[in-house]
């Protein structure tokens, strides 16, 4: 370990930056964020530093550097473009045992600035020891995406209960396990969802239950998570975190194998998929299953292809949870209409083609389509997107033509969009049914109808790699 990572308390401590350029301004911003009282010393000052002075945030010292200038400061930064002067500054600081950083010269530093992830009071830092600052920033950006901003509020909640938990739970091992459950479970997720008051109530209940030996009676939580249209890269950050923390994942047939591979290895997976005329579990049983799993204290993810609230029956499932008094959260996903259209190079709206877009279900019941306002759907200037439209494709096209759509209106069928099995067939209302019959298209599919389909020739960008 080249450097010992430590965190300095600089609140109201005098800090000196020697140098008046943009680099000095950036270092000043960092020290100000830590609460330091910043002075910038240089005979020539850049506008970015002057702005900090004019806002009253820093003090300017308009003079050339002298070694004795460091004496009254707790921390020194050398940010000039003169290597000899930087060395002189570093030597002066070291003589007085003052921590010093010399920008871009790690050999002269007694400390370095890491890349910081600020979730105050939680702060994480990444450093390459000055060897590769850009790499440290890249790692910081990745960590930023994995550490929700709400971690600061979670730390505040833990601080509010820290003394009480210590008084109530004497055994350090039991206390550590309690905090692990709090900070990585339902209570934490409530904070992440902005429900801080409910999180505090849950923590209160958990502490009482722990003290009375009834901790196993705690009720779990259900997360309705949208898995998107198939490509795992299209998962939201929140969705990925939840499926990797879940005790049980109840998933449907539209969830791709690549996404299921991201589920925690020791988590239970329950298939609850539905196909036409073939339901593994009826919807009522799925609703009951989610409630029972939560009542047993488990963190349950109901993983649905696309978005839970767009033809996903998510509303029905959370009605049961509400009736049972079970806490739940909904995590939206990229719906198939948006994801598949984008990967097919077909914009759903366009100033010259479509000023509105309508999502419909092409689901068949008793061999016929669910009735819709075909006259309204046949008006120009819009895009129609039919989910589950493969079986009803001939009737959909026929009905639209009967109600006034031109037979040569462009249409496209997208198979398994956003995945490496994506296939796009384009034609018209008159020709697309025959094109599909001649192919080996398999569900899930998405049907897109409208003049926007013509734009695919120009805008198509995604090509699945050749597996042959």
Q: What is the mean pLDDT of the chain?
A: 91
CATH code (residue 49) = 3.40.50.720
- pLDDT beyond 70 at 405: yes
Q: Work out the average pLDDT over 377-386.
A: 96
What are 223's strand-pairing partners? Answer: 301, 329
Is the per-residue pLDDT at 127 higher than 80?
Answer: yes
Q: Is 315 annotated as a binding residue?
A: no
Residues 317, 282: one domain? yes
Q: Are residues 361 and 411 in the same domain?
A: yes
Check whether 310 is labelled as a binding-site residue: yes
Of 162, 183, 217, the domain-final residue: 217
Q: Which domain holds residue 166?
A: 151-217
Residue 452 and residue 341 share a domain: yes
Q: What is the pLDDT of residue 143?
A: 87
CATH for 374 = 3.30.950.10
Before 37, cis peptide (omega within 30)?
no
CA atoms of 299 and 224, how far apart (whole Å): 11
The response to whether 305 counts as a known ligand-binding position is yes
Which pTM was predicted? 0.73
In the chain, the largest separation of any two C-alpha atoms, in whole Å, equals: 91
Q: Per-residue pLDDT tens for 453-465?
A: 999 999 999 988 7
Is 44 flagged in the annotation as binding? yes
Indicate the pairing of strand 410-415 with strand 423-428. Answer: antiparallel
- 229 annotated as ligand-binding: yes
Based on the domain organization, do 326 and 356 belong to the same domain? no
306 is in an annotated binding site: yes
What pLDDT does residue 100 have? 97
Residues annotated as catalytic (active site), given as ranges: 252, 274
First to last CA, the chain: 48
**pLDDT value of position 218:** 59
Q: Are residues 421 and 354 in the same domain?
A: yes
* Cis preceding-peptide flag for 121 (omega within 30 of 0): yes
Note whether 235 and 164 are same-domain residues.
no
**Per-residue pLDDT at 142:** 86
Reply yes or no on whether the pLDDT at 192 is more than 60: yes
129 in any annotated domain: no
């Amino acid at each position: 370990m080249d450097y010992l990572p430590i965190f300095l308390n600089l609140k109201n401590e005098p800090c000196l930056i020697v140098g008046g350029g943009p680099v000095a301004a950036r270092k000043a911003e960092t020290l100000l964020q830590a609460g330091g009282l910043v002075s910038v010393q240089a005979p020539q000052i850049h506008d970015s530093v002057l702005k900090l002075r004019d806002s009253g945030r820093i003090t300017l010292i308009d003079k050339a550097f002298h070694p004795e200038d460091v004496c009254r400061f707790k921390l020194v930064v050398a940010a000039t473009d003169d290597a000899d002067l930087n060395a002189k500054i570093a030597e002066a600081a070291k003589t007085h045992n003052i921590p010093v950083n010399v920008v871009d010269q790690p050999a002269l530093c007694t400390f370095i600035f890491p890349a910081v992830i600020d979730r105050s009071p939680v702060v994480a830092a990444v450093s390459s020891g000055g060897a590769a600052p850009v790499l440290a920033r890249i790692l910081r950006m990745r960590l930023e995406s994995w550490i929700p901003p709400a971690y600061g509020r979670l730390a505040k909640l833990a601080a509010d209960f820290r003394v009480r938990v210590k008084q109530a739970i004497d055994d350090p091992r039991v206390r550590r396990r309690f905090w692990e459950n709090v900070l990585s479970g339902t209570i934490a997720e409530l904070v992440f969802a902005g429900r801080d008051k409910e999180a505090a109530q849950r923590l209160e209940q958990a502490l009482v239950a722990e003290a009375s030996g009834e901790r196993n009676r705690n009720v779990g939580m259900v997360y309705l998570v949208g898995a998107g249209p198939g490509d795992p890269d299209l998962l939201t950050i929140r969705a990925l975190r939840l499926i990797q923390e879940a005790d049980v994942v109840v998933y449907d047939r539209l969830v791709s194998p690549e996404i299921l591979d991201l589920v925690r290895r020791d988590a239970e997976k329950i298939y609850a998929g539905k196909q036409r005329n073939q339901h593994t579990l009826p919807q009522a049983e799925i609703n009951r299953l989610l409630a029972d799993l939560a009542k047993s204290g488990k963190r349950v993810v109901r993983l649905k292809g696309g978005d839970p609230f767009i033809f996903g029956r998510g509303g029905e499932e959370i009605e049961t949870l509400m009736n049972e008094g079970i806490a739940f959260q909904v995590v939206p996903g990229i719906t198939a209409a948006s994801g598949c259209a984008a990967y097919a190079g077909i914009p759903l709206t366009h100033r010259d083609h479509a000023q509105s877009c309508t999502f419909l279900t092409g689901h068949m019941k008793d061999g016929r389509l669910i009735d819709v306002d075909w006259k309204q759907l046949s008006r120009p200037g819009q895009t129609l997107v039919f989910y589950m439209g493969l079986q009803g494709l001939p009737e959909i096209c026929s009905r639209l033509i009967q109600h006034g759509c031109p037979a040569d209106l462009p249409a496209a069928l997208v198979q398994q969009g956003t995945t490496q099995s994506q296939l796009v067939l384009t034609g018209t209302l008159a020709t697309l049914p025959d094109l599909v019959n001649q192919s080996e298209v398999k569900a899930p599919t998405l049907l897109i109808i409208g003049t926007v389909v013509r734009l695919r020739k120009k805008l198509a960008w995604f090509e699945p790699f050749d597996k042959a």
